[in-house]
Chain A
């Protein structure tokens, strides 16, 4: 039988992009400022979320989507603070995708939410390839991981809007060179904003809170 070539020319992750756009429209309708938080495991995603909730909970209505391979440990911590939270277990999956977030959005009170945190699965390889419908991508990198991470995982660092460089309180014990880190990052991504923070001591957190509050305010002021 004759072989026929059919031109396709379509993105393999096109379906994900489409669902991400639908999610974004839904979130825009209720003017929910949404951040997709990515990092390696243990860099401090949950600690940053908990500290931020603690600081802003009287002024901003927040909700959280927690992505983990297994368990609901993180969601329980958020729930204990009285914040609406949906736990997604990816059952081995290494990233969140737009479909998973779409289902989670249905379980959240979006009309009463100003700020939505989506905590991605801890992984520096692929979460950046899957849009979820977020306004901004936030990466958390921590000093004990080393200053060479942007060099080793360039795509993740090239795709982020903000980097929170966490665990700065450990600097005296580490060989982390901030100039090297910053140079590599700005090389890949000249528009990125970097905040140096320590969730443990609270140092540098104010700058992050005020950036975030500013962005939430901007989204609220947008015409629906």
Chain B
């Protein structure tokens, strides 16, 4: 269900942008999703095929670029990717981080005819 509402938002946004550009057909939608965003690409594609049927986005390819999780250590500013659920800094072993990447969920661009 989560992916269903996300897919609806994707379709709405893509159609809005395509109409603004007077396009006749959307051929590809380029998306960027972070590992922490919880978005499952396969589910989005599944729903997209259903809900885009009678729109100019029917048959469009969805391209997903996955952004890995990266975090910044509060103490030494090192940017690292947590491994095996260990979020402490590999450099100074401090705890306390800010998430830098991994939460993304945005539409980079659409390709239209």
What residues of chain A have their CB less than 8 Å away from a CB belonging to chain B?
Answer: 1-16, 90, 92-95, 97, 125-126, 129, 148, 151-152, 154-155, 158, 183-184, 186-188, 190
Contacts and interface: CB of A to CB of B under 8 A. Distances in A.
Contact of A2 (B5, B17, B109, B113): B113
A3 B106 contact: no
A133 B45 CA distance: 30
B36 A12 contact: no
Interface string B100-113: 00010111111111
B109 A6 contact: yes
B34 to A, nearest CB: 9
Nearest to A91: B1
Give the interface size class of chain B.
35 or more
Given A2-B113, A126-B38, A187 B1 contact: no
Given A1-B113, A94-B2, A155-B38, A10 B13 contact: yes
B36 A6 contact: no
B109 A4 contact: no
A188 B98 CA distance: 7
B95 A12 contact: no
Interface string B71-111: 00010000000100101100000011101000101111111
Contacts of A183: 95
Interface of B: 1-2, 5-6, 9-10, 12-14, 17-18, 21, 23-24, 27, 31, 36-38, 74, 82, 85, 87-88, 95-97, 99, 103, 105-113
Contact of B5 (A93, A158, A187): A93
Nearest to B89: A187
Given A126-B38, A186-B96, A188-B97, A8 B109 contact: yes
Contact of A4 (B23, B85, B87, B105): B23
Contact of A5 (B14, B36, B111): B111
Interface of A: prevailing SS: mixed
A158 to B, nearest CB: 6
A15 to B, nearest CB: 6
Nearest to B21: A6
Nearest to A151: B85
B37 A129 contact: yes
Shortest beta-carbon contacts, A-B, top 9: A190-B96, A187-B95, A151-B85, A1-B113, A187-B87, A8-B107, A155-B36, A11-B106, A93-B1
A103 to B, nearest CB: 15
A25 B12 CA distance: 25
Given A152-B85, A184-B87, 20 more contacts: A3-B111, A4-B112, A5-B109, A5-B111, A6-B17, A6-B21, A7-B108, A8-B13, A8-B17, A11-B106, A12-B105, A13-B105, A15-B13, A16-B9, A126-B2, A154-B82, A155-B37, A155-B38, A187-B96, A190-B74
